[in-house]
Amino acid sequence: MAWSEVFSRTPYIVGAATLAIIIFVLAVLLPNFALLNEVVLGSSASPEAKINLTLSLLGGIKTNFSTLSAIYTILIAILVGVNAAMVVYLMRKQNGLAKEGIATGVGGIASGTLGVGCAACGSFLLSTILASVGAASAIAILPLKGGEFGIISVALLGITLGVLGNKIAKPLVCKPKNNHE
Amino acid sequence: MEESPKQNNLSTPAAIVVAGVFVAGAIYLAAGPANSVERQQPQVTEQQESGDLEQMTPVTAEDHVRGNLHAPIKIVEYSDMECPFCKRFHSTMQQVMDGYGKSGQVAWIYRHFPLDSLHPVKARAEAVASECANELGGNDAFWKFTDRFFEVTPSNNQTDIDAVLPQIAQEIGLDKSQFATCLTSGKYDEHVQNDLDNAIATGGNGTPWSIVVTESGKKYPLSGAQPYEAVKQLIELALSEQ
């Protein structure tokens, strides 16, 4: 099993967990980057107060996210961490030869980025892109108001993990080309 | 069966390019303004690319103020009455006012920010209704109306406003006939629109959108329905800066 091959190694567990936590924290704090910037750089408050405020904003996962968006935000964070660990493992195992698998993995990570979103916006990235091209109303007519992108991201990440798993599980052999002479 | 080399050569760089665009876009946009429910299209000639907190209309006695108007900390909230997160944040702010409001340290100012694309017709009608409550019963009636509305309605366009708005008005002791006349008069449309425009001008692109103003005039943006603990921490931080 590719999963056990990768995650029997502690560095990959630590790496996946660290990346997942970073993505989760960024996703929850994303709505208030302007506030954090102002507090960290522009406030005369103590460092302790600044840290307390930052940590308290993580509670926004309960209040500023719908149940659906909280679930897929957490799932995306976990899956991106796992995805990244498997990409790194694949790169090291095949010495950079597995370009397709790596590209697939990076694509999966990118799709996870697409799906991360806050409370009622579903996908901050896609909603912002659509707004830039004047199609913000496109999100409003969706049944889940953009939450679909989070679900799609989870699905894409799951598919990516499957592809990566197959790549990792393949034996390292050279396949002869068919000679048509 | 092995893929042809030509197919392999096309899919790999294509996947890398697509992934790179997404990741670059995410990094660029994450560094920009707060993410949003919806890029509200303002009723102005030009859309501002980024808000400016200093564009916030100063707080006056004409505002809907809960607590001491001259409190050292003012929390100006721009809200949509159909927004479920505004409903949550309304409860949080009630909790804030139970503590900091009673001690005179914090004033809560309510302004309108109806999101027409998500809550067409109803959000604006409800904003107008709250203004009518204010007209007929003063500031106290405004807050009773707003509190009761958030308490009894489910958000997200599920409210039968034709039934609920007059019902709440009657519950808080307003004249139903005068309330109904006010609702259809159109006299508060401009006021609601002005609040909405100001929300956008200050950088609001989702609800609830709040600005915490210290006694010295320094402003902190607060986006979304943040938990009580976060609001409390921000208030304490703002108080410590006096």
User: pLDDT tens across A95-123, in order?
Assistant: 655 566 667 777 777 766 666 654 334 44
| Whether residue B208 has a cis bond before it, omega within 30° of 0 | yes
* pLDDT higher than threshold 70 for residue B47: no
Query: Cβ of B230 and A59 within 8 Å?
Result: yes
* B241 against A105, higher pLDDT: B241
**pTM exceeding 0.90:** no
Tell me which of A24, A33, A170 to substitute to probe the interface with B (most B C-beta atoms closer than 10 Å). A33
* Residue B4 falls inside a structural domain: no
The pLDDT-based confidence of B30 (bands split at 50, 70, 90) is very low
CB-nearest to A60 from B220, B221, B230 is B230
CATH of the domain at B184: 3.40.30.10
More confident residue, B37 or B25: B25
In a domain, A179, yes or no: no
CB B113 within 8 A of CB B56: no
The ipTM value here is 0.77
A79 domain-assigned: yes
In a domain, residue B11? The reply is no
Task: Give the pLDDT score at B122.
Answer: 96
Q: From chain A, pick out residues whose CB is under 8 angstroms from the CB of B223.
A: 31-32, 34-35
Into how many domains does chain A fold? 1
Q: Share the mean pLDDT of chain A.
A: 79
The alpha-carbon gap from B180 to the nearest alpha carbon of chain A, in Å, equals: 30
Amino acid at A129: I
Q: Which residue has the higher pLDDT, A175 or A33?
A: A33
Q: Residue A93's pLDDT is what?
A: 80
Confidence grade of residue B31 (pLDDT, cut at 50, 70, 90) = very low
Residues B139-161 have a mean pLDDT of 96
Residue B121 in any domain: the answer is: yes
Interchain proximity B85–A124, CB inside 8 Å? no
Residue B216 token pair? 């010295």
Q: Which of A106, A124, A178 sits opposite B35 (nearest CB)?
A: A124
What are the pLDDT digits (tens) for A121-171? 444 555 555 555 555 566 667 777 677 777 888 888 888 888 888 877 776
Write down the pLDDT at residue A163: 82
pLDDT at A98: 57
- The per-residue pLDDT for A90 is 84
Q: How far A47 CA sits from the closest chain B CA (Å)?
A: 10
Q: Which domain holds residue A12?
A: 2-169
Asked if B233 and B94 touch (Cβ cutoff 8 Å), the reply is: no
Which DSSP string corresponds to A12-63? Answer: HHHHHHHHHHHHHHHHHHGGGHHHHHHHHHH--S-HHHHHHHHHHHTTHHHH
* Residue B149 within any structural domain of the chain: yes
What pLDDT does residue B187 have? 97
Structural domain contains residue A180: no
| B29: nearest CA partner in chain A | A125
| Option in B29, B88, B221 nearest A35 (CB) | B221
User: Is the Cβ pair A64, B224 closer than 8 Å?
Assistant: yes
Residue B171 is assigned to a structural domain of this protein: yes
Pairwise CB contact (< 8 Å): A106 & B30? no
A178 in any annotated domain: no
Indicate whether B1 belongs to any domain: no
Q: What pLDDT sits at residue A102?
A: 66
In a domain, B43, yes or no: no
pLDDT for the residue numbered A168: 78
Residue A12: inside a domain: yes
The distance of B242 to chain A (nearest Cα, Å) reads: 10
What is the number of structural domains in chain B? Answer: 1
One-character DSSP codes across B155-208:
-TT---HHHHHHHHHHHTT--HHHHHHHHHH-TTHHHHHHHHHHHHHTT--SSS
Q: Could you list the residue range(s) of the whole structural domain that residue B69 is in? A: 53-240
Determine, yes or no, domain membership for B152.
yes
Lowest mean pLDDT among A7-11, B4-8, B88-92: B4-8
